[in-house]
Amino acid sequence: MLLFLITSLLAAEPAVPDAGIQQVVATIDRVARENSARPAKERATGDALADLYIRSACQSGLPARTIVLGIAYALDPTGSIAANPFSSAYFKDVESTEARKARWATMGKPTLRGREDWLSHFVVSAGLAVAVGEPGAEFFGIQKEVSDAVGKEKGKGSGFSFTDLNADLGGIAFAKWLTGSDSKSALAEAGKRFMGGNFLPDPKGLPDGLTWSSFETNWGGLKDARFQAECERLRKRAAECAGYTGK
């Protein structure tokens, strides 16, 4: 499976810079500056701030794929999607290092379900789903958790987090919806009423911070039926979020 996935990624059509991403980033930058200029008690913060950014991007009139890639770049402070060798070409010359620093000085702290890191997982996985496909996005998300689990085993690292994986799969489902066959309607809906909590399942009760040994003891490894079944359950929950079903 791993060899097949890597072969597919290498054989995929090469990514090329998308000038529209700059427009998405510029839109979010403008909204950030407008928000930061408001009196403190009137500023959007946390989840409401992320919602504001995503709604604004979806109202830009650009293609859905470009919007998803722009959101992934603009709302992730780590810059991981631009550093990924399989997606980096999309983001060539989007902004200088100085411009990125200046933008983040006014971006505030947007969150998803109260967490900055879950927002990063959500938007980056959405962007990777567009850039390399859903299997590739899942692969990179899971490998990040494996790295964190192995790191924790050695005394550094946050451990394998199913709550992070929940956010990854939520982002992939969002990208699939926004770029799907009814993309125009999805963009219009997201532009009007996007609320992150309606697109990410409640992670309460999901295991978190597992060392690799603990993960293997409880889940048997990445190929084990128990882990595969849990991934499928999380995918199903993501696809059935209120943002898609209206329930």
- How would residue 245 be classed by pLDDT, with cut points 50, 70 and 90? confident
Residue type at 106 in one-letter notation: T
Residue 7 resides in a domain: no
Residue 51 resides in a domain: yes
Residue 179 resides in a domain: yes
**Structural domain range at position 207:** 16-245
What is residue 18's predicted lDDT score, i.e. its pLDDT?
81
Q: Is the dihedral of CA 78, 81, 86, 88 positive or negative?
A: negative
- How would residue 19 be classed by pLDDT, with cut points 50, 70 and 90? confident
Alpha carbon distance 240, 234 (integer Å): 10
Residue 122 resides in a domain: yes
Alpha carbon distance 156, 215 (integer Å): 16
End-to-end CA distance of the chain: 36
- How would residue 13 be classed by pLDDT, with cut points 50, 70 and 90? low
List residues bridging with 115 in a β-sheet: 112
Residue 9 resides in a domain: no
Please name which of 127, 45, 20, 32 lies closest in space to residue 78, comparing C-alpha atoms.
127
Question: Per-residue pLDDT tens for 130-177?
Answer: 999 999 999 999 999 999 999 999 998 899 999 999 999 999 999 999
Residue 218 clears pLDDT 90, i.e. is over it: yes
Residue 160 resides in a domain: yes
The total of structural domains in the chain comes to: 1
Residue 63 clears pLDDT 90, i.e. is over it: yes
Residue 2 resides in a domain: no
Do residues 54 and 9 lie in contact, with contact meaning Cβ atoms separated by under 8 Å? no
Residue 8 resides in a domain: no
